[in-house]
């Protein structure tokens, strides 16, 4: 029995690892590669396994870089069950439908432009087939996914329904326990509970997105957002917040609601300009039993979460285009989180060229993405084939990240008293290198940085 590292080995997106036990094949995640067009082209490449012979998938959470190649797996013949937390099943339904529509639209555009048939990476029908194969699981419920492999989901505190997965594998009366971290959240994240402690493992596959970083204190970040909003008020500009539809959007809304009076938010019109984020926010609403104490209290006290009386939900594209006519006093929360597509792109095109406006980056930006170019201070960026000067002020506020930092990651690992060997995944190489040294110095932990195709023998 062994694990082969396939996706998110030595990089951040495309999470996918292949577990082979007693003739069975189980995938841990099957995520999309995201970033530059060149990187994303790799999504169309072959899998290093036969999709028809995969017996089951265990999905850590609903982000596309973890579930976004499932429709492709289905297209290539996978018909087994996909185990995920119940909330992940609902969120994945929304995300995959949205991604499929974008794929279909892109393919149509390219077909016209190149004058030859371009197929979408996957279709809406294939996304729907994925949902039919999903099995909703609760936290802390141990279930057998195939003979010889059972799993238990633990709260990873990253987004609603996110899981670190305990995996027990058995072959020839030998049992080993692997822990797959999925994506780990920060401790004390609003709305969500903290990452749940896991007491032991024989080996850990661990994310390392921010293994080389310490986030600012969340409170300082929230304070900074308050200051940016105050400044925008006095400059009479707009504020654009690119946000992932799951997680960051809900936290931004939560923070705006909590500080509504303090930040003088009644001076602004707030837009949630994303049909998808409107839908995912509804799912957050339906799972109050997964909230932390403060969110539970606020929901009970207000009969709802902190209220934003001036929140506008922009569903149609006409609603979205209408926002472009506002030259000041708008706060626009829109996707995609890395500015690679979605409605945030046309807002950036309209606002980047004017120094009165502000952009607040609240999430991770992969190399090659438009968001990363803004973070890295490019003076001009290319949008819809045009060179757009970046005169607006770009603020990167790291403290709201959905990912734990070096200390959060170490704290989660150190719950495992036997200090098992670690296999770092889901991180760029400098981040992994720094985290490997940090973890080794603190705990004497054996830390590996597997490359794609490397194997971890479990027997």
Interface residues with Zn ion (CB under 5 A) are 63, 183
CB of 405 to Zn ion, least distance (A): 15
CB 207 within 8 A of CB 185: no
Which residue's CB is nearer to Zn ion, number 229 or number 400?
Answer: 400
Specify whether the CB–CB gap between 199 and 418 falls below 8 A: no
Whichever of 5 and 271 has its CB closer to Zn ion, that residue is 5
In the complex with Zn ion, the residue whose CB is nearer, 120 or 399, is 399
- Minimum distance from CB of 214 to Zn ion (Å)? 20
Q: How far is the CB of 254 from Zn ion (least distance, A)?
A: 18
**Closest separation in Å from C-beta 403 to Zn ion:** 7
Task: Please state at what angle helix 86-114 crosses helix 124-132, rounded to 10 degrees.
Answer: 160
Minimum distance, C-beta of residue 241 to Zn ion, in the bound complex (Å): 18
Which is closer to Zn ion, CB of 17 or CB of 350? 17
Preceding omega of 336 cis (within 30 degrees of 0)? yes
Min separation Cβ 257 and Zn ion, Å: 24
- 12 close to 26: Cβ distance less than 8 angstroms: no
Alpha carbon distances (Å) from 338 to 80, 150, 276, 319, 343 = 32, 35, 15, 22, 12
> Shortest distance, CB of residue 280 to Zn ion, whole angstroms?
13
Provide, rounded to whole angstroms, the least separation between the CB of residue 163 and Zn ion.
11
* Cβ nearer to Zn ion, comparing 1 with 159: 159
Closer CB to Zn ion, 63 or 177, in the complex? 63
Nearest CB to Zn ion, comparing residues 63 and 218: 63
Smallest distance, Zn ion to C-beta of residue 263, A = 28
- Nearer residue to Zn ion within complex by CB, 11 or 183: 183
Which CB sits closer to Zn ion, 215 or 347? 215
For residues 103 and 183, which CB has a smaller minimum distance to Zn ion in the complex?
183
Nearest in space to 246 (alpha carbons), one of 178, 158, 310: 158
Rounded alpha-carbon distances, angstroms, from residue 275 to 7, 95, 189, 342 = 29, 11, 24, 10
Q: Measured from the CB of residue 210, what is the shortest distance to Zn ion in angstroms?
A: 12
């Amino acid at each position: 029995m062994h694990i082969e590292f396939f996706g998110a080995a030595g990089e951040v997106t495309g999470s996918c690892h292949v577990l082979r036990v007693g003739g069975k094949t189980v995938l841990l995640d099957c995520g999309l590669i995201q970033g530059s067009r060149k990187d994303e082209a790799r999504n169309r490449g072959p899998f290093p396994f036969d999709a028809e012979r995969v017996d089951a998938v265990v999905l850590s959470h609903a982000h596309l870089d973890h579930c976004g190649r499932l429709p492709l797996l289905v297209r290539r013949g996978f018909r087994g069950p996909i185990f995920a937390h119940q909330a992940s099943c609902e969120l994945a339904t929304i995300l995959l439908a949205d991604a499929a529509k974008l794929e279909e639209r892109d393919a149509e555009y390219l077909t016209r432009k190149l004058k030859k048939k371009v197929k979408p990476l996957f279709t809406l029908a294939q996304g729907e087939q994925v949902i039919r194969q999903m099995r909703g699981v609760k936290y802390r419920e141990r279930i057998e996914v195939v003979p010889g492999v059972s799993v238990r989901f633990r709260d990873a505190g990253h987004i609603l329904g996110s899981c670190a997965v305990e995996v027990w594998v058995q072959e020839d009366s030998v049992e080993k326990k692997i822990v797959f971290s999925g994506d780990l959240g920060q401790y004390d994240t609003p709305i969500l509970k903290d990452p749940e402690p896991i007491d032991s493992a024989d080996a850990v596959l661990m994310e390392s997105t921010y293994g080389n970083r310490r986030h600012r204190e969340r409170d300082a970040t929230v304070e900074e957002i308050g200051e940016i909003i105050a400044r925008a008020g006095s400059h009479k500009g707009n504020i654009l917040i690119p946000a992932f539809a799951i997680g960051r959007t809900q936290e931004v809304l939560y923070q705006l609601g909590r500080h509504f009076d303090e930040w003088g938010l009644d001076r602004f019109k707030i837009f949630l300009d994303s049909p998808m984020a409107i839908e995912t926010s509804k799912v957050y609403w339906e799972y109050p039993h997964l909230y932390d104490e403060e969110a539970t209290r606020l929901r009970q006290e207000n009969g709802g979460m902190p209220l934003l009386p001036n929140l506008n939900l922009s569903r149609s594209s006409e609603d979205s285009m209408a926002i472009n006519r506002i030259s000041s006093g708008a706060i626009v929360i829109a996707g995609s989180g890395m500015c690679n597509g979605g409605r945030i792109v046309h807002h950036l095109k309209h606002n980047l060229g004017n120094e009165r406006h502000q952009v607040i980056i609240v999430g991770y930006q992969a190399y090659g993405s438009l968001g990363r170019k803004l973070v890295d201070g490019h003076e001009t960026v290319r949008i819809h084939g045009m060179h757009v000067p970046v005169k607006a002020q770009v603020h990167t506020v790291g403290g709201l990240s959905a990912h734990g930092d070096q200390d959060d990651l170490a704290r989660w690992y150190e719950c495992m008293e036997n200090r098992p060997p670690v296999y770092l995944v889901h991180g760029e190489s400098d981040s992994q290198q720094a985290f490997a040294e940090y973890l080794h110095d603190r705990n004497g932990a054996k830390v590996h940085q597997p490359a794609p195709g490397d194997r971890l023998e479990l027997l």
